[in-house]
Amino acid sequence: MISKASVSGFRMPAEWEKQESTLIAWPHNKDDWPDRFDYIPKVFAEIIAQISKVQKINLLIQNKSGKLGILKLIKEFKGIIKNIFIIVKKTDRVWTRDSGPIYLINKNKTKKIILNWKFNAWAKYKNYLNDNSINKTIIKLKKLKYINPKYKIKNKVKDIVLEGGAIDVNGLGCLIATKECLLNKVQERNPGLKKNEIENIFKSYLGIKKIIWLNKGIVGDDTHGHIDDIARFISKDKVFLAYEKNQKDRNFKTLNENYKILNKITDQNGKKLKIIKIPMPKALYIHRTRVPASYLNFYIANKIVLVPVFNDPNDKIVLKIFKNYFKKRKIISINCLDLIWGLGAVHCMTHQEPALN
């Protein structure tokens, strides 16, 4: 039986902790990649194939009729088909990082529960009802206990909106987010909630002790400031941080400010964090629109790290940094020149499920 749960004694694990599976939705919405959609299924097939070699994948597809063609394409990229579990579930978009479930685990890693946050397409797009019901599908499938996080405002009880790409954690009680995404009136997710109330939500539901607020995200990000393009924990005390050298670039000021903030701040234990600067690729435009190309939108899976690359001179430099800091994982580059036209990359389209002991 599926029931509501208590979060007492639970925490949100870090991405590098052992995973049971990855949630991915197969692409179908051509409006997300105008004029380039035909290239997108192959990018997804490559990413799915790489992950399937190290862990299970729960793959959401629109209808049964597409199954054989999808698996055939994944096979072409040498995917391990027995590790791919097909779920027929309609979606609006593919960005499961934001629409998929956030898991909590208990201290001994013997239990996990799902937080069923509301998803409203970044308070930007009107079609999100299919994506907002992904969590219910997973809860039913996994037979896990769950919680619907809520807040009260003006005597009304509302579901709390939160996307996975809006937060990053070290698994020990420290969380990074941006003010632009969660404290701004533009694309406001939870109208009426103040900073201290949002912090209390993180503490109450995610087991967080310290919240680090950076200012803004990067230019071209339609989520309005997601953290997973600019700052990512790679261990309990190390953070990869997007950095722009070119003072004329529109991201320069923002990323420099973020560096100054992070440089002064401490973690949940009052200790300084080690910051590793990750250079940005040069400004990338598709049909005269600047897209949010960033190396920070990587995904850590079991034994591998998938890193977005953009045919940019900094690709090699960045991959070298990743190899230096992820010595026990294989670094795999994924060409995201087409994928980024959908305004997301590898991290945006993946969502991990933690493993239990």
Tokens of 25: 């939705």
Element housing 70 (H / E) = helix 67-76
Cβ-proximal residues to 185 (8 Å cutoff; 6+ apart), any chain: none
Rounded Cα distance between 60 and 85, Å, is 9
Cβ-proximal residues to 284 (8 Å cutoff; 6+ apart), any chain: 290, 291, 293, 310, 312, 337, 340
By C-alpha distance, which of 231, 263, 103 is closest to 171? 103
Element housing 37 (H / E) = none
> Does the annotation count 181 as an active-site position?
no
**For tokens 């807040």, what's the residue?**
151
Which residue out of 174, 181, 336, 348 is catalytically annotated? 348
Per-residue 3-state assignment (H helix, E strand, C coil) for 263-307 = HHCECCCCCECEEEEEECCCCCEECCEECCCCCCCCEECCCEEEE
Q: Which residues are catalytic?
A: 348
